[in-house]
Amino acid sequence: MSSRALVIFCRTPEAEARAKRLPVARTVPVFEAVIAGWVRAARNAGAEPVIACAPEHRARLSEIAPTASWIEQPTASFGGRLSAVTTEAFRRGFDAVAITGMDTPPMDLAPVFDCGTNVVVPAKDGGVNLIGLVVDAAGLLASLRPRQHDAASHCARVLEAIVFDAATDLDDEGDFRRALHDPAWSAIYHLLARASIATRVEVTLFAPVIESLVPRAPPALH
């Protein structure tokens, strides 16, 4: 078994869109691409992709990530779920565990795992896109709250972590517009452009700028 794990906290893309009051038909392909992108990123970094979800969501998510391992999310608070699932990942024998969500841009995970210490990747709103751990931090994770705007700085301080560059996460319709201009999302720009509630004029104005920066085929994560 790999000594590294990437735990992706998920619900079905449809449930994610409804929970965030997003247009389901337009945003589901984005969330599907994010999950698949994180699975590829884990494999490319020599890590085991692990989907953490409620039992009723597993069948749908297995269509997107059929090769991933699974951990059941308990019925608990946000922090309680983070803590319990991460503790279970370490209990399974992984030496390093990174945790992320289905609303964050997939990234190259090699630097996260290769640095040999704790890592925090902030969201631009002050939250956290990814936490990389070399020791279980159950107490810290249990204290986190949804959309906690000082979560990244708090985690970085407590964990004495290396802090990577921040990127936009997808919490609401405005974030979809902002992600159009965030290079971290360039690999699925075309899906974001379709999903964004930005006006056709906004997308038309900014697409040529982004298009000049993005290869026609999504870059491979490695």
- Find tokens 């939250």 and name the residue: 127
Phi, psi of 122 (to 5 degrees): -75, 155
For the chain, which residues make up each domain, given as ranges? 4-163, 173-211
Name the CATH code of domain 4-163 (choices 3.40.50.620, 3.40.50.300, 3.90.550.10, 3.40.710.10). 3.90.550.10
Tokens standing for residue 46: 């020599």
Check residue 147 and give its pLDDT.
82
Decide: pTM greater than 0.85.
Answer: yes
Burial class (CB in 10 A: 0-12, 13-18, 19+), 91: exposed
What whole-number distance in Å separates Cα of residue 6 and Cα of residue 44? Answer: 11
> In whole angstroms, what is the distance from residue 5 CA to residue 43 CA?
10
- Name the 3-class secondary structure at 92: coil
The alpha carbon dihedral of 98, 123, 147, 19 has a sign of: negative
Instruction: Note down pLDDT in tens along the chain; length 222 residues.
Output: 469 999 999 999 999 999 999 999 999 999 999 999 999 999 999 999 999 999 999 999 999 999 999 999 998 899 999 999 999 999 999 999 999 999 999 999 999 999 999 999 999 999 999 999 999 999 999 999 888 889 999 999 999 999 999 999 999 999 999 999 999 999 999 999 999 864 343 444 444 444 444 434 343 443
Structure-token match 């290769």, residue found? 114
